[in-house]
Amino acid sequence: MANEDVQCPYCEKWQEICHDDGFGYAEDEAHEIQCFDCEKYFVFHTGISFYYEGSKADCLNGGEHAWKKSFIAPDYWPDARHCSDCEKRERGKMLDKEGQKKVDEALHKRVMAKTKLC
């Protein structure tokens, strides 16, 4: 039932609800729509549910973090990492000004090599 949100109580055809302007999300009111098939008006109510899933995080219980390399601005924070269990993040030490300048120059050269100017 892709793109089918609510079943018309008259003809039992499934209807898609357009939420582009936020319509239909409020839980405390009846929302009025017209069936695209039988053209009768009806109301629907919105119910939002949450799903939770637990996972082990030994590092929160005295164990070691399961560090993985992060790729958040890797040119500037080459030591950035995150724990795959608890999602703790550490940027590590940022490159010094000279290192940043070299990275900026290298990035500029790569961009200019791909860009053809008339």
| Residue 78: inside a domain | yes
The model's confidence at residue 2, banded by pLDDT at 50, 70 and 90, is low
Residue 99 has pLDDT above 80, yes or no: no
> Which is more confident, 112 or 81?
81
**In a shared domain, residues 74 and 110:** yes
| Residue 71: inside a domain | yes
**In a shared domain, residues 41 and 82:** no
- What is the domain range of residue 79? 64-114
| b/e sequence 13-51, b meaning 16+ C-beta within 10 Å | eebeeeeeeeebeeeeeeeebebeeeeeebebebeeeee
Query: Mean pLDDT over all residues of the chain?
Result: 86
| Residue 55: inside a domain | no
Look at the chain and report how many structural domains it folds into.
2
| Residue 3: inside a domain | yes
**In a shared domain, residues 70 and 97:** yes
The model's confidence at residue 12, banded by pLDDT at 50, 70 and 90, is very high
Give 37-66 pLDDT, tens digit per residue: 999 999 999 998 999 999 999 999 999 999
